[in-house]
Structure 1
Amino acid sequence: MNELPREGADHLRAPLDDPSAGSPTDPGASESAGRKESSVRSVAVIDIGASSIRMSVAEITPDGKFRTLDTLVQAVDLGREAFDTRRISRATIERSVNILRRFQRVLKEYGIRGSANIRVVATSAVREAINRLAFSDRVYIATGLVVEVIDEAEVNRVTFMGVNPHLEQDPSLRAARSIVVEVGGGSTELLVLRDGNMLFSDTLRLGSLRLLQSLEPVNASVGRRRQLMEYQIARVIDEIAELIPEESETQLIAIGGDIRFAARCMLEHWEPDTLAEIQIAQLEALTAEAIRLDEDALVKKYA
């Protein structure tokens, strides 16, 4: 059995010494710390996406603050099948079940159980599959986990809740109009925010996996494939430009797995729980290098 890849467990751990907890030799402080410890709730979220299943484990305090303890990711080809045939094969369903069982063993280590503390969501790949109910039923029978297939509006709401606290910490970002873009495997989520309010949201049917699949029948050179991808991307950008009027002081905030990967490659000391600024020229250079490599070469260079 392969070890589950884990992301971000070390740098997100809080210091063991908490000055506010009092001296460990003080019985009153120990009792207070014990009450504080017992009131912390451990939870997990599992995201079944187009190209991977991802789980985040966190602690939530009574005041609503949270601390991420662990993040696990396993690759799975849900989107490749769902976007092509609109059906998830039995083999892929079973692979997904096995991944979720492994995740459950990790959750057992953390003492996390029950639907009140574990939320499992599925996005575009499962949503577009005509046998999505069979997928959800099989997962429930095998693991007891209830898969919630969330619609585009709920995805946008969750995205807003995730990014808004970061904007709140930066007055200039909060005051400016911010366009938040998340390119997933099957779709691109688009939000426009200002002063803590969502002004606009939309979901566009262009994702990294869907785009690559559309080019698979094309027997062309790397340069020609890049031209075709840029053409399709430009069409979506034109569509976005029609939806969102041009305005000065606009910030572009990119989120999601692809841009996190790019940030890790380009920024040596970047901490994934913070916003980072990436120069377009840097991103263009990384893209130009990656597009020339096949899957094996990409894994060898960046894994």
Structure 2
Amino acid sequence: MPEERIAIIDLGSNTARLVVFAYEAKKHYQLVDELREVVRLSEGMGEGKIIRADAYERALQTLVSFKTYCDAAGIAKIRATATSAVREAQNGESFLRSARERAGLELELLPGDAEARMGTLAVANSLPYPDAIIFDIGGGSLEVSLMQGRKFVKAASWPLGAVTATEQFLQHDPVKKKEVKALLKETRSQAEGFFADLPKELPVIGIGGTIRNLADVQKKRENYVLDILHDYVLKKSDLAEIVEDLVEKTVVEKRDISGLNSDRADIITAGGIVVLEALEFSGAAEMIISGMGLREGLFFTELMPDEPHLLDDVRGFSIANLAQRYYDRPAHNEHVKVLSLKLFDELCSLHQYGDWERELLGHAALIHDIGMAVNYYDHHKHGLFLVMSAALPGFSHREQALIGLLCRYHRKGSPSSQGYDALLQEDDMARLGKLAALLRLAEYLERSKSQRIKDLRCHIGEGFVQIEALAQGDAYIELREANDRKDLFAEAYGVKVEVILGHLA
């Protein structure tokens, strides 16, 4: 089946975004382009709930430009949605007609629960948390959802988006303490009823531009080593410090904050106050950031067209997706995985690792050669770069670093952290050395990429390991190369090692 492209347009209360995905249903996908425009659709709506003429025109012109882009790029499949501002506006129907007539776009007007469902679907297909509370703050509202068993359960929509809360509560620059107190009071009144009936100690996941931008600010504050935002953990204590700083600054001063989008400087304070207070009510000490939200949820209904639109294995799909994008030799990769895991299982008494390490080793084996997409020479180094530059949904940043480093050391070299120390734990370098040693031996036992080594047997003695490679056909190259590359194994495990040829029964 040929690859398709789809454009998803999300007309929010503050920002309009267009994302383009290339995909093959149920198999793989890639984000290939993105456009963003600040429209402030809900600005000045007030109690009358009328989209103002200037905001109306800004949004329409943005939709016209998005449609023009799609036509020029040859993207025929477009799914365009509008959320709270249009949904609540008295002239919302008029706006939908104008979008149809001027931009040629049929906007879906998403109800609040549908918006929350799509956000939940994005989280379920990109993060390893079956149960969670999800915060999605936009310009017009904060959607708070409960997910259980990777499925949407219920949601509440609070009229406290970054734009609406700013206009209703924060009238001065810098804001006054009494304004902050009033916004906190309103947030608490919204939160009390919703959180009272929720299960305790659930992780909190944050989506939406305001939350992501707050996380960007914290990443700059701590000089975070990865550019990737997805699965970044924002501590409540750090968020509190950011909000305290925002409250004290003028809009002009906020524009100088590293990591803060200048076009959010006038609304970020209200968004931060609301999110922090909601996080306080949840009882969580941190918030996990999702780089995927409404737009990705809508896309997943196309990628996985059958209900409930869920990936069976988020982590496995991420690895397969990455392999397919760059360099996929399934037979070789699968066999390196088989040999790696056979070594892992046979040598359990030496490394004493469990299911988690075994899983990471298997995933690394499937993408160990993706650096070949750049060049054969130094492809192990290119592989680390590609893994650490990619979104790898379902994996923590620590796990991503370990997988990337396993790719880096699958050929040669003595393992080091490569600058990712901040993502790793104290014993991870020993873990990396032992797992990389197994992956390296497996790679060279599959040196001719012909699956000649059919099985392995490990014989463990006092200070000595003998690996018996059961071959079909001439395995001279595999045997020679594996013995030439066994030094890392000897160093990591503190034993002498020998690879010998065995015979299939």
Coarse TM-score class (shorter-chain normalised) = 0.7 to 0.9
Change (3 A) 1:83 1:154: farther
Is this contact kept in 1: 2:6–2:78, CA < 8 A?
A: yes
Q: Is the aligned partner of 1:299 residue 2:255?
A: yes
Tell me the residue number matched to 1:119: 79
CA distance in 2, matches of 1:123, 1:189: 11
Are the structure 2 counterparts of residues 68 and 280 from structure 1 closer, same or farther at C-alpha, using a change threshold of 3 Å?
same
The answer to whether the 8 Å contact 1:83/1:128 transfers is: no
Paired AA for residue 197 in structure 1: K
Match in the other structure for 1:32: none
Residue 18 of structure 1 is matched in structure 2 by: none
Say yes or no: does 1:252 pair with 2:204.
yes
- How big is the shift at 1:109? 4.2
Greater RCO (Cα-Cα under 8 Å, separation 6 or more): 1
Instruction: Report whether the alignment pairs 1:199 with 2:159.
Output: no
Give the alignment of 1:1-303 within 5 angstroms: 39-113=2-76, 117-167=77-127, 170=128, 173-174=129-130, 177-216=131-170, 222-244=176-198, 246-247=199-200, 249-267=201-219, 268=224, 269-272=226-229, 274-301=230-257, 302=260, 303=262
CA contact under 8 A between 1:82 and 1:126: conserved in structure 2?
Answer: no
**Other structure's SS at 1:112 match:** coil
Paired residues of 2:67 and 2:104 also in contact (CA < 8 A): no
Deviations 1:238-293 (A, max 9, x none): 1222242x42x411111111111012122232413x21111111111111112223
% identical equivalent positions: 20
* Cα distance, 1:156–1:220 mapped onto 2, change above 3 Å: closer
Query: Which AA in structure 2 matches 1:91?
Result: D
Give the partner amino acid of 1:250.
Answer: L
Q: Is the 8 A contact 2:175 2:248 kept in 1?
A: no
CA contact (8 A) 1:82 1:128 kept: no
Cα deviation for residue 63 of structure 1 reads: 2.5
Q: What letter corresponds to residue 156 of structure 1 in structure 2?
A: A
Partner AA of 1:259 in structure 2:
I
Letter matched to residue 224 of structure 1: K
Distance 1:263 1:220, change over 3 A: closer
CA displacement at 1:42 relative to structure 2:
0.9
1:178-214 superposed Cα distances (whole Å, 9 cap, x missing partner): 1111122222212212222333323233222222221
Deviations 1:49-96 (A, max 9, x none): 111111111112132532111222111121123344311133322221
Considering only aligned residues, what root-mean-square deviation do their CA atoms show, in Å?
Answer: 2.2
Q: Which residue of 2 aligns with 1:8?
A: none
Q: Which has the larger radius of gyration?
A: 2
- Verify the 8 A CA contact 2:169 2:179 in the aligned structure 1: yes
The answer to whether the 8 A contact 1:263-1:270 is kept is: no
Distance apart, 1:125 and its partner CA: 0.5
Do the aligned residues in 2 keep the contact of 1:50 with 1:186 (CA within 8 Å)? yes
Which amino acid letter does the alignment assign opposite residue 43 of structure 2?
R
* Offset from partner CA, 1:75-121 (integer Å, 9 cap, x none): 112112334431113332222122122223332343213xxx11111
What one-letter code is carried by the residue in structure 2 that aligns with 1:276?
Y
**Structure 2: stretches of 5+ with no match in the other structure:** 263-505
Distance between the aligned counterparts of 2:175 and 2:136, measured in 1?
Answer: 28
Deviation, structure 1 residue 223: 2.4
Provide the C-alpha distance between the structure 1 equivalents of 2:255 and 2:33, rounded to a whole number of angstroms.
23
- The count of residues paired between Structure 1 and Structure 2 equals 254
1:261 alignment partner AA: N
Q: What is the TM-score with the length of structure 2 in the denominator? A: 0.47
Superposition deviation, residue 222 in structure 1: 2.5
For residues 219 and 260 of structure 1, what CA distance do their matches in structure 2 show? 23
Partners of 2:174 and 2:58 lie apart in 1 by 33
| 1:144 to 1:160, Cα distance in 2 relative to 1, 3 A | same
Unaligned runs of 5+ in 1: 1-35
Structure 1, residues 207-231: CA drift from partner, whole Å, max 9, x if none?
2222222125689953222222222
- After superposition, the C-alpha distances for 1:2-38 in whole angstroms (9 at most, x for unaligned) are xxxxxxxxxxxxxxxxxxxxxxxxxxxxxxxxxx6xx
Q: State whether residues 43 and 55 of structure 2, in contact with CA within 8 Å, keep that contact through their aligned partners in structure 1.
A: no
- Larger mean Cα displacement after TM superposition, 257-266 or 229-238: 229-238
Equivalent pair of 2:134/2:205 in contact (CA under 8 Å): yes
Q: Distance in 1 between matches of 2:196 and 2:152?
A: 18
Aligned residues of 1:270 and 1:276 also touching (Cα < 8 A): no
